[in-house]
Structure 1
Amino acid sequence: MSPVTSHPARARAHLNATDLRLSRGGRPVLTGVDLTVSPGDRLGVVGENGRGKTTLLHVLAGRLAPDSGTVHRAGTLGVADQEIPIGGDRTVGDLIDVELSQVRAVLRAFESATLALAEERPGAEHAYADALRAAESIDAWDADRRVEISLAALGAVTDRARPLADLSVGQRYRIRLACLLGAGHDLLLLDEPTNHLDAGGLDHLTTRLRDHPGGVVLVSHDRALLSDVVTAMLDLDPTCDGRPRAYGGGYEGYREGRRAERERWETAYRDQRLERQRLAQDLSAAQNRLSTGWRPEKGTGKHTRATRAPALVRAVHRRQEALEAHVVDVPEPPLRFRMPRLDAPPGVTLLRADDITVRGRLETPRSVHLRAGDRLVVTGPNGSGKSTLLSVLAGTVAPDSGTVQAKRGVRVRLLSQESPPPSRQRAFEVYEAALDGLVASGELDETGSAGLGKLGLLPSGAAHRPVTELSIGQRRRLDLAVLLAARPQVVLLDEPTNHLSMTLVEELTQELAVTGAAVVLATHDRQLLRDTASWPRLRL
């Protein structure tokens, strides 16, 4: 990282990347990425799962070296990863101290400079002035108070003695995010910061990012956050020339630009395919004429037909060369999600839960009755019991009081917030093992579910890689595929937009609106709540 100057954050924050390229296992991950972030800029980074968004943040942070290209940074840097290692017996206070280490260092330097000034050491006045400017530039004295405010606003644990191992993934993430928002960093690199936030936390994050005087790089699939916060967008999905695209005008500018780009892409692809098809037809016709010219009917026009042969041969060669020279170099349009038909017996209750409670997690009795085609959105702040309610409906958690009854033979499936630990099995093997288990148990016959490729969730390359090598978003797509393999009649989705691309979320939302299965989803996603505004609500 470049040396940090003593200028205020608004003036010194700067991040520039030029022609970044990086491959892993022979597979290109980043291809020709260019970006610039200056004070006041908030750059949104989007792209399908597995396109290298998290990898890009690691390169920008200096944690990962690109194969080629350059990165220049100026100012202090705060990074929020999707995953946080726990590490031994570390506590909440330990995590806060780590995240505020730069602030602590600035304050120690100021204290040393103050002592040197009091003792009238040589050069103390200059050192004191520098230390004072550094502390004032990040308002270091107020950092702990800002962290406390963000901890409360994000619904994070404030007890600094609590062991991190006792906390959920979401709780640990909210603590780190609160620290980053309070530390006064010049540059913030945030990876899916909304995944574990409720409505109040989302409002607080939105406000803090909009007010941040430095630069922000924001990897997110949260359409509402992008719309409210970003000033520009970088789309890592490939285009006609294979390079990422930058769009000005915030989220709306991106949507309009991307739509026009996609239309040009599809038109070019269609035109090239049609031209290749025409050339192939011309070659076939020329070959037919050549064949006829070499085999004239006996006794009539033999000399005349034979003299046409050289011209026909040349015509065939020209068309062959034209066909070979015409390469369809525009990539095929990206995958489109296709949800299988999910039917359920009409007119009967598929699943009912009456007055259920779970001690310490769902204290107020709740009841849910589901029939074919029913829709329900479960809302409420973090800790209100949304995930617990869905787990009880799925049969993975037993209620302490109340009853849960499912119609005999009804298939109920839950998409949890977090993926199971990844295995070394390839993705398609995980999917096929799930199918084999369903067939063996008698839940499905051998023709009861579609193959993984037909769902449009994972490209062939990702489907044939070990799950450990997939991105978090790709593992989430595999989880969804395994759920759909069971052809469930009751679909339970816990924060279904976590880690999924915006395109897939929109396609999934459209499919959920028309499926014959009963659907229950728990979400804080503001755009998804808007898209399902007509669904009944259960607020916990």
Structure 2
Amino acid sequence: MSAIVMPSARSRAHLNATGLHLSRGGRPVLTGVDLIVSPGDRLGVAGENGRGKTTLLQVLAGTLTPDSGTVHRAGTLGVADQEMPVSADGTVGDLIDVELAQVRAVLRAFESAALDLVEERPGAGEAYAEALAAAESIGAWEADHRVDVSLAALSAVGDRSVPLAELSVGQRYRIRLACLLGAGHDLLLLDEPTNHLDAGGLDHLTAALRAHPGGVVLVSHDRALLSDVATAVLDLDPTSDGRPRTYGGGYAGYQEGRRAERERWETAYRDQQLEHRRLAQDLSAARNRLSTGWRPDKGTGKHTRATRAPALVRAVHRRQEELDAHLVDVPEPPLRFQPPRLDAPAGVTLLRADGVTVRGRFDAPQSVLLRAGDRLVVTGPNGSGKSSLLHVLAGRLAPDSGAVQGRRGARVGLLAQESPPPSRRRAFEVYEAAVGRLVSSGELGEPAPVGLGEPAAVGLGRLGLLPSEALHRPVAELSVGQRRRLDLALLLASRPQVVLLDEPTNHLSMVLMEELTQALATMGAAVVLATHDRRLLRDTESWPRLRL
């Protein structure tokens, strides 16, 4: 793992944001964000797609003005956002010069101060000392060397004369990232910096951020990077009071804090719902007594009737007031993934592949034997045939040699790497149709009585993968992440005994991936997983490996 030698820690690096609020199109994007970043702090920013992570970085960088709140920065600032600062008709050298503009300015100021000192101009000594301190504080003389080190480590083009138009988007981003890592900025604001990086580049980025003496704000869905780098995590996902939470203790502290926060939220919501139902039942009982219970037995005098009725009326009014006064002010908690139980017959072979090959995908024969509870991780570089092997095991791709045999009646489910083309049917209708096909084909026994429409939506909603409003929207109008969640729901609907997952972290949130990983650990079904995700590989490090 390579690292960049950086200047000593700079106490001037500081970022403070208070009460940030911002809405777009009438929809709140940022709601009461507070944060402080000091030297040595590396703040991860987490949240589902659309929660305002990129917007927050733009506000912190000063390129977007919030509706309310303040941002104070001290020190130099380096930003890796989704826009490139140099047009495609520039060169690699132009991009490097733009990103190292602060370094160039500091060196020019030092040269000017040195010339004044040689000419013995008044005040030249003090000015020289200040210019020298400024240059040393950012390691200005070593900046280009640090950039070159990062360019090599990130597999980026280092020839300054190469036109940017000849480079891929990934190459341009890697060049810009190398400049940011080498420039010696006091503060770094990084938006998904792991995009376009290979394993070596990821190692270099991790080492560089851990060694950075200033402050870092890091937006990323890469759980491994956050786990390795973040000292605290700001969570922009909804909370019980609508305000973001910052968790100390790095990514592990974020996981534990979020789990505890969710449990408190669910408990408070459940308690309020139970109390509201109790008060409603008390009101109903009081009304029943008013309509029937106050009537005395036959022969009772009018005086008894006259004295009992007002008391019952007052009781109804009191119960109504108690119900009206009881506000359910805790919002409904977010969904929690609730997978069905997936089991398979113990001790029998569910699926077997012997010496299979697919020409042009993977030419070396591969063999796989899967029984109930078996686990397997398929690894290898892009293009090595991981997806093709899973499609062969799923029966969707015929091998050019070798054979695949499945136990009679064994159900095999595949979560492919990309979702199929979206239809205009609503999500619950797609789910209902899939279950209907499984039942009519005999792959599944008749499920619990389910009517048309709403009951199917209830069954899909019970998985905790899609919010209620998304269940009734056309699939074509769902986000990429929501369509991926529907794919997972359709896989689970078949109650597979062999579960094949091809890059399951694609487009799924960090929270759902944590919940899915926990579910995989307890499934009775056999599970085969193909992934590049470093955190998922760590979480499944005890599983057998098949490297292609």
Alignment of 1:137-152 (within 5 A): 137-152=137-152
Return the letter of the residue paired with 1:217: V
1:511 and 2:512 are equivalent in the alignment:
no
Aligned to 1:496: 504
User: For residues 481 and 158 of structure 1, what CA distance do their matches in structure 2 show?
Assistant: 46
Return the letter of the residue paired with 2:514: E
Change (3 A) 1:31 1:139: same
Return the letter of the residue paired with 1:77: L
1:354 and 2:355 are equivalent in the alignment:
yes
Change (3 A) 1:517 1:259: closer
1:101 and 2:98 are equivalent in the alignment:
yes
Aligned to 2:414: 413
Change (3 A) 1:488 1:164: farther
Q: Is the 8 A contact 1:343 1:517 kept in 2?
A: yes
Question: Alpha-carbon deviation of 1:283?
Answer: 1.5
The secondary structure found in structure 2 opposite 1:500 is coil
Q: How many residues align?
A: 524
User: For residues 280 and 128 of structure 1, what CA distance do their matches in structure 2 show?
Assistant: 79
1:190 and 2:198 are equivalent in the alignment:
no
Q: Is the 8 A contact 1:48 1:501 kept in 2?
A: yes
Q: Which runs of 5+ in 1 are unaligned?
A: 1-6
Aligned to 1:324: 324
Question: Alpha-carbon deviation of 1:26?
Answer: 3.4
Question: Alpha-carbon deviation of 1:118?
Answer: 6.6
Change (3 A) 1:188 1:85: closer
Change (3 A) 1:242 1:113: closer
Alignment of 1:275-314 (within 5 A): 275-314=275-314
Q: Is the 8 A contact 1:117 1:124 kept in 2?
A: no
Aligned to 1:10: 10
Return the letter of the residue paired with 1:67: D
How much identity, in percent, do the aligned residues show? 70
Name the stretch that deviates more: 324-333 or 469-478: 469-478
User: For residues 136 and 353 of structure 1, what CA distance do their matches in structure 2 show?
Assistant: 63
Return the letter of the residue paired with 2:414: R
Return the letter of the residue paired with 1:291: S
Name the stretch that deviates more: 66-75 or 379-388: 379-388
Q: Is the 8 A contact 1:89 1:163 kept in 2?
A: yes
Change (3 A) 1:112 1:23: closer
User: For residues 123 and 358 of structure 1, what CA distance do their matches in structure 2 show?
Assistant: 78
Q: Is the 8 A contact 1:107 1:135 kept in 2?
A: no
Return the letter of the residue paired with 1:183: A
Aligned to 1:453: 461
User: For residues 18 and 350 of structure 1, what CA distance do their matches in structure 2 show?
Assistant: 57
Question: Alpha-carbon deviation of 1:395?
Answer: 7.7
Deviations 1:23-62 (A, max 9, x none): 3443333211111112211112233454333332333233
Q: Is the 8 A contact 1:356 1:365 kept in 2?
A: yes
User: For residues 392 and 185 of structure 1, what CA distance do their matches in structure 2 show?
Assistant: 50
User: For residues 256 and 13 of structure 2, what CA distance do their matches in structure 1 show?
Assistant: 29
Change (3 A) 1:112 1:303: closer
Aligned to 1:245: 245
TM-score relative to the length of structure 1: 0.77
Change (3 A) 1:525 1:31: same
The secondary structure found in structure 2 opposite 1:505 is helix
RMSD of aligned Cα (Å)? 4.7
Aligned to 1:429: 426
Change (3 A) 1:539 1:24: same
Alignment of 1:8-407 (within 5 A): 10-81=10-81, 94=92, 97-98=94-95, 101-104=98-101, 106-107=103-104, 110=107, 114=111, 136-154=136-154, 176-194=176-194, 200-340=200-340, 347-348=348-349, 350=351, 352=353, 354=355, 356=357, 359=360, 366-370=366-370, 373-380=373-380, 386=386, 389-390=389-390, 402-403=401-402, 405=404
Deviations 1:165-222 (A, max 9, x none): 98586x7765554443333332222344456656554443332212111111123455
Change (3 A) 1:57 1:495: farther
Q: Is the 8 A contact 1:234 1:247 kept in 2?
A: yes
User: For residues 306 and 312 of structure 1, what CA distance do their matches in structure 2 show?
Assistant: 11
